[in-house]
A and B are shown apart, each in its own frame.
Chain A
Amino acid sequence: MCASSRPLAALLLLLTGCGATASMPTPGSPSLDRPARLVLDNGMRVIIQEHRASDVVALHLWVGVGGRDERPAELGFSHLVEHMLFKGTETRGPGFVDREVEAVGGRTNAGTSLDYTFYYILLPARRALRAIEVMGDVAFNSAFDPKELERERRVVFEEVRLGEDNPRSSLFRQLYSHVFPGHPYGRPVLGDEAALKAATREMLRGYYRRHYAPENMVLVVIGAVNPTEVSAVVERTFARVPAAGYRRQPLPPPPSLPGVRRHVVSRNEKQAHLALGWSAPPLDHPDVFAVDLLASILGGSRSSRLNQALRERDRLVSSVRASYGALQGGGLVSVSAQLEPGDLGKVEAAVLAEVRRIQTEGVTEVERRRAVTAAESEHAFAIETAEGLAYAYGLAETVWRLDEELRYLERLRSVTREQIHEAARRYLPVDRYAVLAFTPPGGAR
């Protein structure tokens, strides 16, 4: 699921706790029905689309809270709250949602990132209305049962350990801290062990109450449903909650890297891992489309330059990939590779050589077209399913704009070779980037 070169998709690299979301879309085909977007009196946004390609409904709740909103004593709270939300409400017992959804063959899960937290329920469409009621209860009346809290705290520590065991996810988390030093985007979404241990029920509940305000939420309902019926249920659930006057804290601008920052971590894996990171434009920037295609051409596919040069031709790496993660207040272009520990220096030099080549020569028309096709294909297969569409809409409405999302492909197709060339020169300076290497014990040179 990390294997995406598209900015919206790459956001998921920082996700925690999300077991599913096989598809990460960016829809926008003109042949599709457009979604209906409603704004309730309390400020909550609701997106509904009838989607009759199958008999399921995808129900997503997106909340504008994530790692970036946490104060030092709250590090990891967004994620822990996410875990607590399916652990019972004031009127429904722990595990209620899981059981109810599982019993009809459905699925439910959640994820937390730097900019957002989201929850989803995917189930047969005839259960949709009931599921919306349940989601409304979870959103505003979660119980934070002390016993459940103790259990979930342990689950989260376990998740931290698992994440650290996985070199790829660990590599990306750490790379963010080096590209965004001292910035909220440099913090780990999974949090800080001390803060999590010190978290009391009251602190967490206070955090939940503060951020889970209707004006900070988006509900997305996509599937074989009747939009009128859906609106009626929303009216008597989510719409009943009064506005809370919530305003999200603005983000400071991301720091710029003064030079090449090198970090080496010794770990117990046989192969070495290398990541290079550059600070890149945020979501709401006109260059996101060019940077997206640039990352794809550089290292987004089998036929990409890095793969052809480093893997196929020089046999220097067992895998190599470039991707672009665009966040609300910043972005990151990364190149990551798996390699033999002895080749770390050679591989870094080879990556830079390919970057320089693209900066001098630009890209070919074949490359541009192929990158557009890859993006189009990824998008098209993602919106095949109700949950894929719901994910795309929820994400866009939360951190971007639904409208941008719907026009994404069109914008991508209009990017010229010159714009990609210019993006390479502007955003991939060969003297200002962060390097992170994981090496086996004794493997660092």
Chain B
Amino acid sequence: MRRPVPGALGLIVAAGLTLIPSAAPASGHLLPVLRHRLPNGLTLLVRENPAAPVVAVSLQVRMGGRWERPEDAGISNLLQHVLVKGTARRSARAIAEAAEEIGGSVSASGDTDYSELRGTALARHWKALLDLMADVALRPSLPAEEIEKERRVILSQVRNRGDLPFPLTFDTLLASLYGPHPYGRPALGRRQTVERLDRARLLDHYRRHYRAGRIVLAVSGQVSGPAVVKEVERLFADLPAASEAKASAPPAPAAASARRVLERPAAQAQILMGYLAPSLAGGDYPAVKVLTTLLGGGMAGRLFVELRDRQGLAYSLGALYPSRTETSFLVIHMGTAPENLIRAEEGLRREVARIREERVMPEEVERAKAYLLGNLAMDRRTNARQAWYLAFFELAGVGHEFLDRYAAAVEAVTAEDIRRVAGRYLADPTVAVLKPIPK
């Protein structure tokens, strides 16, 4: 039952979700969205969706890896996890029971460009759901024992990540692709930083970020827009308005264009090639989305057809291009048998050269667009996902209606656009390789 909701944990997951899978003739059938700004600056979005008697809420905060300093890395994610473990009025258990009583759930996590508090309920309990979420967002008690529990959970996730070949290589690649920029750090944080985070720092982090001007609240489901506005105005009126003075801009990404090789005991070799790529607001975003799909989108993608079907080189492969507020990245990756490592890397480089230099057939572009837009339609089937999309784009500064523009822009991408963006962005790869060694 529980829908996979964007987890902040694990960059792979994070990348997966922020990867806007892509648009259908986008919201052709979807109802319009009510947008309302509270006096304190909180932005509220409501989509009335009568299809089923449920409601989903996504509260997103401009807080996450992008604003963290190296010594605090992972603090947003830990804070989010502790948030749902106690308020001035409710214990962790009382929060879980309150959610059960209304036929729903409440959870939270931190990501790179945002942190999310999400909840669902039967539609007739929408007020109780908003009340519960407001309690968690406005009056968290950050109980010391819950901080320790969540810290242990996250530390074990960090440890696991270091043991898993793909995530480990991926984290290594991002570090050398971004240099000092915070996108180069895992949103989970590192062991040394997570171990040192204490209640005082979490509280300070909370106070600096949970400000109305940094928050978008999106509601989707069988609800009345005006009634939701009234209730949210009442529940969230106490949220402090003032946004902190803007933090200084993070250092620019500095791609090393290097090749880093990790040696670890593993069954499979991993090869990842990364490039800096346009941000969500960048004009080339739709074309690079199509380019990524053309390379790595499913069984008809070039990497699959060429390297797996024809040459039998890969166990797993794909291309990632997450939607990011600042300069994003495009990664193509492959897992293969250790003895194929050199041929596999040559294969990846050859595919990149081919798309940069040779003409792409219009039919191939059309196929990629259909796949991209079809996947987006698939991903927007539930209220939880719809609420997530609304809040995510609003918070990112491109507006909640971004997907409509995006779908049209994807439809307009031509073979010539593909050649142009491939030439521009796939120039100088940064590479990370995991080379298996005997245990």
Contact = CB atoms under 8 A, between A and B. Distances in A.
Interface of A: 3-4, 22-23, 29, 31-32, 51-56, 98-99, 102-107, 122-126, 224, 301-303, 370, 373-374, 376-378, 380-387
Contacts of A382: 1
Interface in B139-182: none
Given A22-B1, A373-B100, A381-B382, 16 more contacts: A4-B1, A31-B50, A53-B51, A54-B377, A55-B27, A56-B381, A104-B374, A105-B372, A105-B378, A106-B374, A122-B378, A123-B374, A374-B103, A377-B54, A377-B104, A384-B383
A23 to B, nearest CB: 7
B122 A373 contact: yes
B303 to A, nearest CB: 15
A224 B29 contact: yes
Contacts of A29: 52-53
B222 interface: yes
B372 A370 contact: no
A376 B96 CA distance: 18
Contacts of B3: 22, 381
22 contacts: A22-B1, A52-B51, A54-B380, A55-B26, A55-B377, A56-B377, A102-B298, A103-B300, A105-B22, A105-B376, A106-B378, A124-B24, A124-B370, A303-B97, A370-B101, A373-B101, A381-B1, A381-B54, A383-B52, A385-B382, A386-B381, A387-B381
B370 A104 contact: yes
Given A99-B299, A103-B298, A385-B381, A373 B103 contact: yes
Contacts, number: 127
B120 A381 contact: yes
B419 to A, nearest CB: 22
Contact of B51 (A23, A51, A99, A104): A51
Contacts of B1: 3-4, 22-23, 378, 381-382
B371 A103 contact: yes
B123 interface: yes
Contacts of B24: 55-56, 124
B288 interface: no
B283 interface: no
Given A99-B300, A103-B367, A377-B103, A54 B52 contact: no
Contacts of B51: 32, 51-53, 383-384
Interface in B96-127: 96-97, 100-104, 120-123
Identify the 5 closest CB pairs spanning chains A and B, nearest first. A105-B374, A377-B103, A53-B51, A105-B375, A104-B374
Given A381-B1, A381-B54, A105 B299 contact: no
B395 interface: no
B29 A104 contact: no
B287 interface: no
A384 B52 contact: yes
Contacts of A4: 1
Contact of B54 (A105, A373, A384): A384
B251 interface: no
Contact of B373 (A98, A105, A303): A105
A53 B52 contact: yes
A380 B381 contact: no
Nearest to B28: A55
A31 B122 CA distance: 14
B53 A124 contact: no
Interface string B370-398: 11111111101111000000000000000
A413 to B, nearest CB: 13
B25 interface: yes
A413 B367 CA distance: 48
B53 A54 contact: no
A22 B384 CA distance: 15
B49 interface: yes
B218 to A, nearest CB: 16
Interface string B281-314: 0000000000000000011100000000000000
Interface string B49-61: 1111110000000
A52 B103 contact: no
Contact of A302 (B21, B29, B100, B122): B100
B370 to A, nearest CB: 5
A375 to B, nearest CB: 9
A105 B377 contact: yes
B121 to A, nearest CB: 8
A380 B25 contact: no
A389 to B, nearest CB: 9
B100 A104 contact: no
B370 A103 contact: yes
B123 to A, nearest CB: 7
A376 B370 contact: no
B103 A376 contact: yes
Nearest to A52: B29
A318 B264 CA distance: 34
Nearest to A3: B1
Contacts of B120: 381
Contacts of B370: 103-105, 124
A54 B383 CA distance: 10
A381 B220 CA distance: 13
A302 B96 CA distance: 10
B101 A55 contact: no
Contacts of B29: 52-55, 224
Contacts of B298: 102-103, 105
Contacts of A105: 21-22, 298, 370-378
B25 A126 contact: yes
Interface string B83-104: 0000000000000110011111
A23 B101 CA distance: 21
Contacts of A3: 1
A29 B1 CA distance: 18
Nearest to B29: A52
Nearest to A107: B378
A301 B103 contact: no
A304 to B, nearest CB: 11
Given A99-B300, A124-B24, A380-B123, A104 B371 contact: yes
Contacts of A377: 54, 103-104, 121-122
A123 B102 CA distance: 32
A385 B372 CA distance: 20
Contacts of B100: 301-303, 370, 373-374
Given A124-B373, A384-B54, A56 B300 contact: no
B80 to A, nearest CB: 22
Nearest to A27: B52
Nearest to A1: B1
A392 B24 CA distance: 26
A395 B101 CA distance: 29
Nearest to A9: B1
A408 B104 CA distance: 20
A124 B381 contact: no
A51 B120 CA distance: 21
Contacts of B375: 105
Contacts of A373: 100-103, 122
B381 A54 contact: yes
B366 to A, nearest CB: 10
Most buried by A among B22, B376, B381: B381
A377 B55 CA distance: 11
Interface in B387-436: none
B409 to A, nearest CB: 17
Contacts of B30: 53-54
Most buried by A among B29, B49, B122, B376: B29
A224 B377 CA distance: 11
Given A29-B53, A102-B298, A105-B371, A376 B122 contact: yes
